Structures are given as C-alpha cells and as structure tokens.
Amino acid sequence: MSDSTLVTTDDVDKALVFKPKDARPAPPSTVGVIGWMRNNLFSNVSNTLLTIVGAYIVYTFFSAVLNWAVFNAVWEAESRRECLDLVGRSGACWPGVAAWMENLIYGLYPKHQVWRINLGFLALIAWVIPLWLPRVKSKVAIGISAVLIYPFLASYFFMGGNKGLVWTLLIALGVTGFAWVWLTTLTEMRYGLPFTRFMAGMLGASGKPQEVQVKYGRFSMLFVFVIALVLVTQWELQEVQTRQWGGLFLTLVISGIGITFSLPAGIVLALGRRSNMPLIRILSTTFIELFRSVPLITILFMFNTMLPLFLPVGVEVNQLLRAIVAVCLFAAAYMAEVIRGGLQAIPKGQYEAADAMGLGYWQSTTLIIMPQALKIMIPTIVGNFIGLFKDTTLVSIIGLFDLLSMSRAVGEDSRWLGLFIEPFFFVTMIYFVFCFLMSQYSINLERKLAAGNQR
C-alpha cells in the first residue's frame, strides 16, 4: 500500500507532464449551417411541421407582394386606365405614385420654392452632425442650440415673407447659432478650444485673466452676429402660407415641434406631479390625467373648434397652429408619465445622498436625479416619440394635408382615380423606415449608455 505512494527516483527523472488528448471534433450535426438548422428548425416532429407551415406563410406572402409590387408592376404609364389595361389588378401601378411624388413629400409648396425646404432640413442635419464627431466638447450646448435656436432659422426658410425688426434679429440669431456651432466644432477638433476661447487667444488675450478672455469671446460672437444681421437684412424669401404646407414635410414639422416641446414640458409636469406643494401637484395631475384619458382626435377637434373661441375677438389662428398646440399638449401629458416612471425608479438613497451633499432642489434634480431618470427611460421616451410621429397622421382628419392625406389624394386625382393601395404601400414604407430607425437607434443608445453598469 505504501509502495504506491512512494515516489521512486525513476518518476522524478522523467517529470510528470499532463498531456490531454486532443478534443474530439464536434458531431457534424451540431455545428455549421446544418447543425444550426437541426437545432432551430428541425429539432423534432412538431418543430419540423412548424417550419414547413412557416416557410409556406413566408413563401405565399413574399411571392404575392413581390409579384404585385415588382414583377407584374407597371413602371411607365400615363394614367390608371392604361395600367389597368396592361395588367389589371395583378400588378402595382407605380407611375401614379411617381407623378405625385413631389406632392407626397412637399405638399402643395410652390415647386420653385422647394429648395428652401431641402436647405432647411440640410441645415438641421449640418447643425446636429457635430454631436457625433469626436473631440467636440460642447455637445450639450450644440444640442440645446439645435432645439432652441434652429427653429428661428427654419421658420424663415419655410415661411419666408415680411420680417419685422424682432424677427430679423431672431433669424440673425439663428444664423449666428449655426455659425457658432461649426466654428466651435472646427476649433475644438483642431485646437481643442471652443470658438470664443480660440478667438480670445487669436486676439492676443491668452495670457490675460478669465474675465478679459470671456469679454474677447463675447466680442467676437457679437461680430459674427453683426455680419449675420447684415446678411439677413439682404435676404428676401417669398412668403409661402402654411395652407400650402403638406406631405412628409408637414408631418416632420408637426412631429418635430411636438417632440421638442414634449420633453421639457413633460419633465416640468412630472416634477410638478411629484412636488410637495399640493396646489402644483393637483394642477399637474389634473392636466396629465385629462389629456391622457381622451383620444388625440377629440383634443384636435376641441382645439380646432374652441381655440378661435378662447382668443380675443378678431384674432385668427391658422389651422396648422391649432393642430400643433393640440399635439404638443397631448404629447407633453404622455411624456410626463414616462418621466415620472423614471423618477420613481430612482432609489431613495440618491435623493438622500444629494441632500446630504447639501444640494438644493434644482441642483439635485438637474445633476443627480434627472440624468439617471432620463437614461433609464430612453427606450420608453423614444417609443413615445415614435407614437407621436405616428399620431401626427390624425391631423389629416381635421383637414391638414399631411403625408397620409396626400396619399389619399392620389386616388382622387381624375387621372389616377381609385389608385389607393400603391400610395398607401409607399407611405407605409416611409413611416416604417422612420419609426424602425428611431427604435433601433434607441436600442443602440441604451446599450451604449448601459456600458457603465457592466463590469
């Protein structure tokens, strides 16, 4: 017995080396394409049956849609009659959609003025591009400026017409904002300094105290503003009435305003609902519950019929503005509940810790509570934005020419009489792409922001 435990000199000489056998290859049926199919499609009899049923559904659906939309479709025709003569109802009649394309996107906006809409949206894209660029530090300021200052610029692009003194100043502010965003982006990417500090340095104030530098920075911004003002006064755009707005453009304008308004208003309402002051709590709760418990269409109708009654005699409110007010208030009430959900999810310890640090109400809210609440609610907030974007179709019921009404109008055109499915198909695609991209972006963002929690 003791022999077996004894270490003999022989064993010591040839050192014990553990040599594992080579792993056997995995069975061919569990790896690769075949293995995957076996596991996920044909693991047992019922699964195989389901696969066959599923494949049949997929085949029927795609063959029907592709045959209709691509293979049997008519791509060139003068009228719907011609399409029907060629393929009947078995194929789509795309020329109708193509003929109406400009109206679907820009509504009844004058054809030779359409570049203004394009330029306006390009300006927005250019405004927010720096948010995704590396080494740009003033991202918060750029984002806020896009929300607060860009609308002045856009409104003049879209509306045009006579600008009074105040509006001239505001448009100049918009131009200045745009210039500031890109100047700052460039200087920060190149020199790591915001534009104002960079200019202070250029003007020879780099060694001077902080206040002097700030003064130089302000001075350079004032200079930019004056240049913008001069430009703006020389700038004349023909007036386009909001009645002529329509199509995808109108949908984006209404949902854009709704989205930008609803977030801050929702935050205020949510804070109001959780406030310690009974009056403010009651008012916020009443507003939220009232607007959430009725359908959007009733609110649109209400504002459409009652807003002219609410305002002094003789004040005319155009229909677009009525719709926008209704959509904004509705969206704010929904957003408030989302934010409140986020606020409730913050552990009490966070509030107590903020109090213990000696932070006041506004400091603890803006620095501690709100960033966390907004972060955990990102998917829901974006979901709300998507809902709002879809809900803007309701303005077609009160007589605005949004994307949906435009697509309905195709079938009422005498040349394309009865052409409904094709424009609906096209518009559905547009809505789907917008909403799907938004939801995918929110998932992406959520993952990126949650990176801090994964250790």
Q: How far is CA 163 from CA 76, 169, 244, in A?
A: 45, 9, 19
User: Which among 306, 326, 318, 173 has a CA at the least distance from the CA of 261?
Assistant: 326
Q: What phi and psi, each to the nearest 5 degrees, are found at residue 213?
A: -60, -45
Binding residue for another protein (CB under 8 A) from 2, 5, 293, 414? 293
Nearer to another protein, 255 or 262 (CB): 255
Q: Using CA atoms, how far apart are residues 132 and 143, in angstroms rounded to an integer?
A: 11
Could you tell me the end-to-end alpha-carbon distance of the chain, in angstroms, rounded to an integer?
51
Find the binder of another protein among 16, 165, 309, 451 (CB under 8 A). Answer: 309
For another protein, the closer of residues 122 and 357 by Cβ is 357
Binders of another protein in range 414-443 (CB under 8 A): 420-421, 424, 427-428, 431-432, 435-436, 439
SS3 assignment for 104-166: HHHECCCHHHHHHHHHHHHHHHHHHHHHHCCCCCCHHHHHHHHHHCHHHHHHHHHHCCCCCHH
Say if residues 157 and 232 touch (Cβ distance below 8 Å): no
Does 306 help bind another protein (rule: CB under 8 A)? yes
**Interface residue with another protein, options 376, 408, 445, 446 (CB under 8 A):** 408
The binder of another protein chosen from 101, 226, 294, 367 (CB under 8 A): 294
**What's the closest the beta carbon of residue 295 comes to another protein, in angstroms?**
4
- Which single residue is written with the structure tokens 């948010």? 131
Binding mask 24-53 for another protein (x = CB under 8 A): ----------------xx-x---x--xx-x
CA–CA gap between residue 200 and residue 209 (Å, rounded):
11
Q: Which residues pair with 107 in a beta bridge?
A: 245
Binding of residue 313 to another protein (CB under 8 A): yes
Residue closest to 181 by CA, chosen among 230, 152, 219, 224: 224
Give the shortest CB-61-to-another protein separation in angstroms: 9
Token pair, residue 238, equals 């023909």
> For another protein, which is the closer residue by CB, 29 or 118?
29
By rule CB under 8 A, what count of residues binds another protein? 57
The least distance separating another protein from the CB of residue 245, rounded to whole angstroms, comes to 19
Instruction: Return the closest-CA partner of residue 247 out of 362, 452, 108.
Output: 108
Alpha helices of 67-113 — where are they, by DSSP H?
80-87, 94-99, 101-106
128: tokens are: 């927010």
Rule CB under 8 A: is residue 66 a binding residue for another protein?
A: no
Among 142, 170, 324, 404, binds another protein (CB under 8 A): 404
Q: What are phi and psi of 232, to 5 degrees?
A: -65, -40
- Going residue by residue from 245 to 284, which x/- string records binding to another protein, judged by CB under 8 A? -------------------------------xxxxx--x-
Of residues 62 and 223, the one with the C-beta less far from another protein: 62
Contacting residue, 167, 219, 235, 301, with another protein by CB under 8 A:
301
Q: Would you tell me which residues interact with another protein (CB under 8 A)?
A: 40-41, 43, 47, 50-51, 53-55, 57-58, 89, 276-280, 283, 289-290, 292-298, 301-302, 305-306, 308-313, 386, 390-391, 393-394, 396-397, 404, 408, 411, 420-421, 424, 427-428, 431-432, 435-436, 439
